[in-house]
Amino acid sequence: MDIIFLGTSSGTPTKARNVSGLALLDEAGGDWTLVDCGEGTQHQLLRAPLSLMRLQAVFITHVHGDHCYGLPGLLASAGMLGRSAPLPIIAPAGIEAWIRSTVELTRLILPFELRFLATESLDRWERGNWVVEKAALSHRVPSFAYRFTEASTEARLDVGKLEAHGIPRGPVWGQLRSGADATYEGRTLRSSDYVYFPNRPRRIVVAGDNDRPALLRDSCKEAHVLVHEATFTKDLAEGPAKGFGHSSAAAVASFAESIGLPHLVLTHFSPRYQADADRSPSMEDLRREAMAHYHGKLFLAEDLARYRLDKTGQCSRVSE
Ligand SMILES: [Zn+2]
């Protein structure tokens, strides 16, 4: 499963970073899912291998504009490009009324159906090989995390056992591997006796804005990757920016360390943090602060960067 960041700035865009948006897709590409859709997200799509025709669903973490103001334009473009497949939009209450009135007031004619589901009433949502669940966070408005878990992983045959039991290579092997029981020379062979699953289901948690990372303790069980905002360094988050409802790099990193999380991806950085490490404050301040508290694999997300969580549960940056 790959993650492509479409926006990693908080509040306002910068020349290098758009506001929030993130795509989840298979290694092979093609079908993808969008989490948050800040203004300009559709422009970022033009620079990524992502087509609005292959968009499977949109998830919105909370109603703040830097996470959703890109939706009307993106939907209109999908319509103009000829999309006809219905589009599920899982979003907090309020987004549906806003989008429906915008569609009506701007006389937007969409050639595809919008299927809204309020995050508040989301229990479990399945599509393809992925199961999505939510967790409530703490922010100035209701904010949520979405947890994506692989529904099933690749099955392997216990070849040694098959050979030891005198079952020759052939259709019976395929049947057992697919999960079905089989018959061979009058014997009933149970799939579960000959199949094993070497990899744990992959799990990625994508959080919205949140000032209490510990709320994700349950959701992050068995998670391989957590994507979480680190809008500020600690001095700001606990000083002048206290009350904005955001986390510091230190707070998220400490939480990730406390649960033994293997990969942490920070995003949603205040535009004040500059790329040039010689300036102050800089992205390096955020990185240093996070590294002081976390010993797993740490990434500071960048726009259009692509990260891959492979089948064995290892995450690394693959391009851009
Ligand atoms: Zn935000």
pLDDT of residue 236: 85
What pairs with residue 9 in β-bridges? 19, 269
The DSSP call for residue 10 is: S
- Name the strand (E) or helix (H) holding 64: none
Between CA 179 and CA 182, with CA 180 as vertex, the angle to 5 degrees is 135
The DSSP call for residue 200 is: P
- The structure tokens listed for 300 are 């500071």
Cα 42 to ligand 1 centre (Å): 18
Query: Band of the pLDDT at 241, cuts 50, 70, 90?
Result: confident
Cα 209 to ligand 1 centre (Å): 6
Question: Which entry of 2, 26, 36, 66 is annotated as an active-site residue?
Answer: 66
5 exposure class (CB count in 10 Å sphere: 0-12, 13-18, 19+): buried
Tell me the pairing of strands 297-300 and 263-267: parallel
CATH for 2-153+197-319 is: 3.60.15.10
Cis before residue 281, ω within 30 degrees of 0?
yes
Cα 63 to ligand 1 centre (Å): 9
What average pLDDT does the segment 275-294 reach? 95
Assess whether pLDDT exceeds 70 at residue 320: no
Cα 244 to ligand 1 centre (Å): 10
Q: What DSSP assignment string belongs to 203-258?
A: EEEEE-S-S-GGGGTTTTTT-SEEEEE--B-HHHHTTTTTTS---BHHHHHHHHHH
Catalytic residue flag (residue 66): yes
What average pLDDT does the segment 140-167 reach? 95
What CA dihedral angle connects 246, 40, 17 and 10, to 10 degrees? -10
The 10s digit of each residue's pLDDT in 64-94 is: 999 999 999 999 999 999 999 999 999 999 9
CB atoms within 10 A of CB 50: 20
Cα 40 to ligand 1 centre (Å): 14
The answer to whether the beta carbons of residues 51 and 34 sit under 8 Å apart is: no
Cα 232 to ligand 1 centre (Å): 12
The closest of 303, 215, 316 to 263, measured between CA atoms, is 316
Cα 235 to ligand 1 centre (Å): 19
Provide CATH 3.60.15.10 ranges for the chain: 2-153+197-319
Query: Band of the pLDDT at 40, cuts 50, 70, 90?
Result: very high
What average pLDDT does the segment 94-106 reach? 98
